[in-house]
Structure 1
Amino acid sequence: MVDLIAQEYTTLKGINNMTLEIEKIVAEGVKLTPMMAQYHEIKVNYRDHMLMFRMGDFYEVFFEDAINASKILNIALTHRGKLGEHKIPMAGIPHHAAATYIDRFSSEGLKVAICEQVENPKEAKGIVKRAVTQVVSPGMPYDLDKTDSKEDQFILACNEVNGRFEIVAIDFTTGFFKGFILDSFEDFIEKIRVLHPKEFITYLGQWDKYESVATLNEHNGTLVTHLSKEYFNEKYSSVYLEKLIPTYKRDQLLNENQSVLGPIGALSYYICSTQNHEEFTHLHAFSLSDRTGSMKVTIPTLTGLEILPKSRETYKDSLLGFMDKTKTSMGSRKLKTVFTNPLTDRKEITNRLDTIEFFLKHDDLLQDTREALNNVRDLERILAKAATNRANAGDLLNISSAVDVYEELTNSLSELPTNVFKEMKTEDKTNLFKLRDDIKKTINDEIGANLDKGNLIREGANETRDHLAKISQNTAQALVELENRYREETGIQKLRIKSNNVAGYFIEVSKTHSDKVPANFIRRQTLVNSERYATEELTQFEKEVVVAREKLEKLEREIFKGLIKQITDLSHAIQMLANILSATDTLQSLSWIARNEEFSRPTISEKSRDMDIRGAWHPLIKAAIKDQFIPHDLKLNDETYFGLITGPNMAGKTTVMREIAIIQLLTQIGSFVPADNAKVSICDFLFSRLGASDDILKGQSTFMVEMAETAEILRHATDKSLIILDEVGRGTSTYDGLSIAWALVEHFIENTKALCLFATHYHELIDLADRYPEAKNLTVETQNHRGNVKFLYRLVEQAASQSFGIYVAKLAGLPPTVLKRSQSILKSMEKESSVSQALLDSDHSEQLDFFSVQTPAEIPEYLKQVEDHLSKVDINNLTPIQALNKLNELVDQITLN
């Protein structure tokens, strides 16, 4: 049946043109039912949305929406009525379980328009009025309680003006509202990487000349929403901001941020058109971001170093996941912000380090702080729920609890070096305490209390409410008393007073006693075995009970709305509260890690290039192998700032470089570090190129990606940067790779002059340390006893003797024949200068001399010319690249003959 309906529907129309098809059929004279006409009238305004049409206790979806819903949710596809000769596909979703289904649609990148009944069906004249009350998308989630607590939900609108790039970002779930102005396209793309938006607002053709914008959005799984270009206009900024945010925030924004009003206009229009509310008080006052006090580090660098996770599934395997010991969702999100914005201001770094040291000296306060923060919920998202009329009683009680925690920590942490608690104004503090007290005395915190039952508001909070509640609560007893009186008056002992939703209150008497019923009993209904009656007294009692319940419910809702109004009026103070508690949570998390992992306080050097690290370890690896981890020492400075690391695979070169980068970054976020002692200078930029990766979306090979990233480093690195490079040049031929690596080392030493760790498998590069006093050879120590290699994992200042690649291949399980052949080829290569010629002349027989060459009786003329050519070469004045070019000329000369 499902396939037949879908097939019939497909023949009716193209899957994405339902609205046009209905218009065509209607134009041909086919009439729609009133319900389908109403559906069509709403659907034309939400053509690219899944329209969930409320029908009683269900949401129903029709046409292509129904077919898509049945596939995504794996639910039954049926039909409702016909359109002309064709059945209309339909699927239904229970109202009480809608949140789960809507989240599924959103995760598939769909927008969902929720169409509700906006009048009481009992009062409707004709078809019930319906309207879209909310639009749900990846950037505008339906259920804030189920939204990933560790992730931001950014929506971006961007623009390019005179070569500068503007970004405006809103996280509707937390109130984040900021702008960014970038001077280059590279910085623009990197900022989008950092924000990782759920939704990207644009207009057709806006980014056609920048293919990487679309590529990045596709790679990130970002939903791209197209608006008309006219909304990217200053005019719409003022028109829709009036609906979006309070007056005091709006005026400041329009006056101080003229440069980004285009994207602000687009975002303002989009939010106002998708959310059925008049004002969004939870949005922060808009500001332009200033990163002048931050060390620059890109998302590819952070993911390559495994500091940030590459996906949600790898969160626990990243440094961020390892160090995230926060107690609140807000703290977890802020910790990620801290990791992506390392500091360059010495005072700010020192303040954070002082705070961690304070907590370590006062372990009882650290533990008490963690226990207190355990009682704090996501205030930012609660505030968003309040601003959009989705908050419940539990949310209000959670705000009250958070104020309690704030008051407790304000007192206990009064001596905290970074005392964020002092940021709260006295007036805001007073208002928050009053709000807390009002919530506590108003909201009934007993399990099961809710507005529908008329018991959400505490007794004593409102005198009128208490009176109405008493009437409602005494109904049962009053009915028992009335029932007993009627029994006495009639002599019918089995007389019962009952009620149902249709008939209301009634008296039920069996037919065997109908002759005893008095005249004032009015017959309402006759059943098989009984009669139902009413009396004027019972009817009046019912009216009083119903009116009292209605008044009670209405009054409780008004009291609840009053508390919501208090909350939205105090949005700024609650945002400040959220910021204080999340910042405290972040600091205690860093302190908890330092305490349990025995991190040490780093020293910040006054010099521009200084790194002296003793007993360093990689925190995740040490946590996995415990005492087996061998710590490392490293010293770089103004005199020797380039470390060339050679040595065998599997010996731990990459681990060393990762841990050094981690120590640098942790120092600049104001954290203790995984080392016995560490002194580092402040860097302006952390660069890293580790591991191989293809950019399939761009069609770029591993080597192309490697070269592009290396070029980026060369363009932006300064003598205050830290550069981590691993195995540059391995994705091409040996000579190409060696020459590129060699030239890069020279450039970094002679021109960039940054602190640099450069790991390579090109053993030839070790000679550069003799030429440049600014460079030193480093290797991870090994022992080789009769062919048995032992990796000692200690970092020492010397060049590696060999790579032990064949030994690693043996450990990996390569067959003995391949290993034996490899060993033979390696020995031959080590004897000869021409690797390629050696491989061409080689024979697979072990008995032959691999590189044996028969000397001719007479030297040919062309070889004499080669000899003459060589005799004129001044090898002492040749660079490596010039030498390779000269070698290529000689090879060509010989080949021609």
Structure 2
Amino acid sequence: MTETVTPMMAQFLEIKAGYPDALLFYRMGDFYEMFFDDAVAASAALDITLTKRGKHAGADIPMCGVPVHAAEGYFLTLIRKGFRVAVCEQMEDPSEAKKRGSKSVVRRDVVRLVTPGTLTEDTLLDARRHNYLAAYAEIRDEGALAWVDISTGAVSVMACSRMRLGPELARLTPREVLVSEALESELAEVVSDLGAAMTGLGRTAFDSTSGEKRLCSVYGVASLDAFGSFTRTEISALAGLVEYLDITQKGNMPLLRPPVQEGDSPVMQIDATTRRSLELTHAMGGGRQGSLLSVIDRTVTAAGARLLERRLASPACRADVIGERQASVQFMLEQGRFREDLREALRGAHDVDRALSRLALDRGGPRDMAAIRNTLEVADRVNAACQAHELPPVLTLAARHLTGHDDLRDLLGEALVAEPPVLSRDGGFIAPGYDADLDEARKLRDEGRSVIAGMQSDYAALAEVPSLKIKHNNVLGYFIETTATHAEKMMAAPLNETFIHRQTTANQVRFTTVDLNEIETRILNAGGHALDIEKRLYASLKESIVAAAGPLGALAAALAEFDLAAALADLAQRENWCRPVIDDSRAFEVTAGRHPVVEQAQARLGAPFVANYCALTEAPIWLLTGPNMAGKSTFLRQNALIAVLAQMGSYVPASEAHIGIVSQIFSRVGASDDLARGRSTFMVEMVETAAILNQADDRALVILDEIGRGTATYDGLSIAWATLEHLAEVNRCRAIFATHYHEMAALASRLDGVENATVTVKEWDGDVIFLHEVRKGTADRSYGVQVARLAGLPTQVVERAKVVLEALEKGEREGGGRKDALIDDLPLFSATPVQPAPPQKVSAVEDRLAGILPDELSPREALALVYELRTLMDEA
């Protein structure tokens, strides 16, 4: 017997063949169903039940499904696990398919590909972060990188060599990167290091000639010259973006803003390793919590938060640009009342960019329209508040975009109810009084009972039958019912011209009238008619909003600028930060600098943060010594973070700061194995150090920690020594070089511009106390054994380490040959636990203090106690 494939399953297989790399969500009524391998993969990824439906090739067909109304949450889970989803919708009403025959299936087609870089729904996105889709293209020896956030419509492009690709992607952190299939294998490592998905496209997608035509078509222009002078490679990268959006959105192109060329205003170069080390926007664990961004973010709008992240990821390298941003923060700092009123108003603003994008893609709803309406009202309040102040240049420019939206604001204000539903299909979002036809349809729908009651009263009076009733059932609809006695009169002239007999039962007779039939039809259709009217009005409102996309985008950017300036001012005031001096010199001087993340963490524990001075102006390189746990890494990172904050336009955590423009920041603080590439910790350290020495220019800031520690002592010392010499003589950059090799302190007298500094500690009764204070000079030892003791190493291990250390140091003093002999003379290691030293005799002062509860002492009692303790000391 030959097994046949059902028409529905044949349709599924046909559609699935066009999307072999995606999970096909096949719409069946209120569910998206998956079959075959898709169902097996989805059930495991989503932790949902795997069932079966029929057979194919003699085997059961695996099946699983998710409700349509909850699909977005499942999309997000699958995207995070590396899947792509093809959404297949029903393209007609099932009743239409039935008309074609019993074996006909509902027409279906894929309406969208859901990928990491093409998300737009609020539930799938982090409102405070961009969701970039990037495309990289190469033509001969030139490269270009383009990126878009389709949830906001922002498009950018820049020339980008392959060597710069990794750092630029680290800056943008795109969710998905598009490349030509010919480049997939070559760029796979660069993209995977950033945790982004890579998608290969055919070469034709990046063709610059046809791509230029596609771009002109998307933007509705005859030439791209109006947007800038783009190279062929930049056009190629932009073309790849547009081609992919056309593929994934099935021709429903998102609302894209004109492409912006980056490069005119240079930004600080920070490679991926340094970004991870400094934890600018993501902590080491991968999340936002614990990063610099999480500590400084005081914005109250989503757009403001995204602007803050962009500025933090791309600090400016032009003193005039930085100065203008600082002026905005200073204005907000000085105008405290205005700032607080502004922040309160901005809390009512919504994410206009993403609402606009969803509406343009037909994924929005009435609530997105209300968000735009409410934000326009906020803009009016902000603009009115600005009139009483002389704004700095950046805010003056932003304020110009707050006005000119009166018509759209009034239209949405009149058309929409205060709290509309999420979906337009639910209806009820158009305000009463806006459309007369809609009001009539709603009245009929909502007041049908009162209309019928009025008709019943009229018919009872006409027939002179007080007991006459109008009733309803699912078979007859509305009908007039009376007893048989009264029915005879109603069937006789002249009443029979009004009342039409419909049905006789055992005790009752039922009639209808022409008017009742008509009103019944109108009542039954009123709900549908009201929805149809609202859909038409929704389309009209959407058209008006999309037509104003340009001004609305500028408004959203303006509010974000106000939000960021106010947020940075709030941060500066609450955390006591200062405005740094930024110029084109090579100065780097920070007084009482702090690490903002560590300071906040210690504040939660009730511990003070020790602020420190750093000056790399006269001596551009500091050689920093001191024991582990003393705070060297914190000191290194805090100065790099202060440079980043200063050049993004923020105030900084210090009492004073003077920073000459830093072009690059390089950090090599801590390292780990890279087992996937067969690299040891030491190899990773050397690769990162090589990148710094090969790339750092004379305006770079370099922070290095423990270079050479992963190999033999003299190997490590020689590498660290040569590295420091290269930084001073070849790179000629500003740097802080932390090391345990105390021998390197001699370089301060041999190299111009190198100065010794150390993190101070204090020894007390065999313990080491970390003071976390950086001062000029050098440490005479590393205190490693004491730190090991603090870490909880067994006592016998600590004591044995002291013996070995003493032998090694003695051998070093007496010459290398003697050192081996001393080690040979060491007694064998004993595993017997070392007995703790007997407790020392408690002094009279300590004995007296043991019973004191300071909180219970009055000032007079405390003073008396001091005199008493002094007497006890004298007697001792």
Name the amino acid aligned to 1:633: Y
Equivalent-residue separation in structure 2 for 1:496 and 1:250 (angstroms): 69
State the shift of 1:796 in Å. Answer: 1.0
- 1:21-72 Cα offsets, whole Å, 9 max, x none, are xxxxxxx975433322332332222222222222222222222222222222
SS in 1 for 2:694: helix
2:202 — aligned with what?
228
- 1:316-335 Cα offsets, whole Å, 9 max, x none, are 21111100111111111111
Judge which range, 123-132 or 789-798, deviates more.
Answer: 123-132
State the shift of 1:510 in Å. Answer: 11
1:679 — aligned with what?
658
Q: 1:474 to 1:763 in 2, by over 3 A?
A: same
1:822 — aligned with what?
801
SS in 1 for 2:417: coil
Name the amino acid aligned to 1:661: A
State the shift of 1:273 in Å. Answer: 2.1
Q: CA contact under 8 A between 2:420 and 2:429: conserved in structure 1? A: no
Judge which range, 257-266 or 89-98, deviates more.
Answer: 257-266
2:691 — aligned with what?
712
1:505 — aligned with what?
477
2:397 — aligned with what?
422
- 1:334-384 Cα offsets, whole Å, 9 max, x none, are 111101111121112112222222112111111112111111121111111
Q: 1:788 to 1:470 in 2, by over 3 A?
A: closer
Q: CA contact under 8 A between 2:132 and 2:176: conserved in structure 1? A: yes
1:204 — aligned with what?
181
- 1:453-512 Cα offsets, whole Å, 9 max, x none, are 653222232333334334334322112233455677596959562365xx5833497999
- 1:557-585 Cα offsets, whole Å, 9 max, x none, are 22221111111111111111111111222
Judge which range, 489-498 or 282-291, deviates more.
Answer: 489-498
Q: 1:836 to 1:317 in 2, by over 3 A?
A: farther
Name the amino acid aligned to 1:612: E
Matched, 1:700 2:679: yes
- 1:510-553 Cα offsets, whole Å, 9 max, x none, are 99999999765665899x99999865443221222344444432
Aligned ranges 1:47-58 → 2 under 5 Å:
47-58=20-31
State the shift of 1:304 in Å. Answer: 0.3
State the shift of 1:313 in Å. Answer: 5.4
Equivalent-residue separation in structure 2 for 1:713 and 1:180 (angstroms): 24
SS in 1 for 2:183: coil
- 1:84-137 Cα offsets, whole Å, 9 max, x none, are 543332223222222222222222222212222222333442333222222211
Matched, 1:617 2:590: no
- 1:207-229 Cα offsets, whole Å, 9 max, x none, are 43x3xx21233343433323322
1:880 — aligned with what?
none
Name the amino acid aligned to 1:584: F
SS in 1 for 2:747: helix
Q: 1:83 to 1:530 in 2, by over 3 A?
A: farther
SS in 2 for 1:777: strand
Q: 1:265 to 1:504 in 2, by over 3 A?
A: farther
Equivalent-residue separation in structure 2 for 1:589 and 1:321 (angstroms): 13
Q: CA contact under 8 A between 1:506 and 1:533: conserved in structure 2? A: no
1:186 — aligned with what?
163
Given candidates 126, 130, 139, the residue that maps to 1:148 is 126
Name the amino acid aligned to 1:635: A
Equivalent-residue separation in structure 2 for 1:512 and 1:99 (angstroms): 60
Q: 1:681 to 1:151 in 2, by over 3 A?
A: same
Name the amino acid aligned to 2:805: L
Equivalent-residue separation in structure 1 for 2:44 and 2:485 (angstroms): 60
Equivalent-residue separation in structure 2 for 1:535 and 1:122 (angstroms): 31
Q: CA contact under 8 A between 2:300 and 2:346: conserved in structure 1? A: yes
Q: CA contact under 8 A between 2:484 and 2:509: conserved in structure 1? A: no
2:40 — aligned with what?
67
SS in 2 for 1:457: coil
2:249 — aligned with what?
275
1:320 — aligned with what?
293
1:83 — aligned with what?
56
Matched, 1:557 2:538: no
Under a length normalisation based on structure 1, what TM-score does the superposition of the two structures give?
Answer: 0.84
Q: CA contact under 8 A between 1:166 and 1:263: conserved in structure 2? A: yes
SS in 2 for 1:139: helix
State the shift of 1:699 in Å. Answer: 2.2
Given candidates 739, 743, 751, the residue that maps to 1:760 is 739
State the shift of 1:674 in Å. Answer: 0.8
Q: 1:787 to 1:756 in 2, by over 3 A?
A: same
Aligned length: 809
Given candidates 588, 609, 630, the residue that maps to 2:610 is 630
Aligned ranges 1:656-667 → 2 under 5 Å:
656-667=635-646
Judge which range, 838-847 or 215-224, deviates more.
Answer: 838-847
SS in 2 for 1:100: helix
State the shift of 1:722 in Å. Answer: 1.2
Q: 1:499 to 1:215 in 2, by over 3 A?
A: farther
1:790 — aligned with what?
769
State the shift of 1:794 in Å. Answer: 1.4
Under a length normalisation based on structure 2, what TM-score does the superposition of the two structures give?
Answer: 0.86
Equivalent-residue separation in structure 2 for 1:498 and 1:310 (angstroms): 66
RMSD: 3.2
State the shift of 1:140 in Å. Answer: 1.7
State the shift of 1:285 in Å. Answer: 0.2
1:744 — aligned with what?
723
- 1:170-205 Cα offsets, whole Å, 9 max, x none, are 22111121212123x221121122222222223433
Matched, 1:308 2:281: yes
Given candidates 579, 595, 598, the residue that maps to 1:601 is 579
SS in 2 for 1:709: helix
Name the amino acid aligned to 2:177: F
Q: 1:46 to 1:751 in 2, by over 3 A?
A: closer
Name the amino acid aligned to 2:237: P
Equivalent-residue separation in structure 1 for 2:357 and 2:794 (angstroms): 63
Q: 1:781 to 1:505 in 2, by over 3 A?
A: same
2:627 — aligned with what?
648
State the shift of 1:789 in Å. Answer: 2.2
Q: CA contact under 8 A between 1:506 and 1:532: conserved in structure 2? A: no
Gaps of 5+ in 2: 492-498, 830-876
State the shift of 1:747 in Å. Answer: 1.7
Equivalent-residue separation in structure 2 for 1:75 and 1:531 (angstroms): 56
2:302 — aligned with what?
329
Name the amino acid aligned to 1:32: V
1:576 — aligned with what?
554
Q: 1:542 to 1:80 in 2, by over 3 A?
A: farther
Q: 1:473 to 1:251 in 2, by over 3 A?
A: farther
Matched, 1:842 2:816: no
Name the amino acid aligned to 2:609: F
Q: CA contact under 8 A between 2:303 and 2:560: conserved in structure 1? A: yes
Equivalent-residue separation in structure 2 for 1:133 and 1:604 (angstroms): 52
State the shift of 1:778 in Å. Answer: 0.5
Equivalent-residue separation in structure 1 for 2:78 and 2:708 (angstroms): 45
Q: 1:616 to 1:524 in 2, by over 3 A?
A: farther
Equivalent-residue separation in structure 2 for 1:652 and 1:513 (angstroms): 104
State the shift of 1:446 in Å. Answer: 4.3
Q: CA contact under 8 A between 1:236 and 1:269: conserved in structure 2? A: no
Identical residues among aligned pairs (%): 31
State the shift of 1:300 in Å. Answer: 2.0
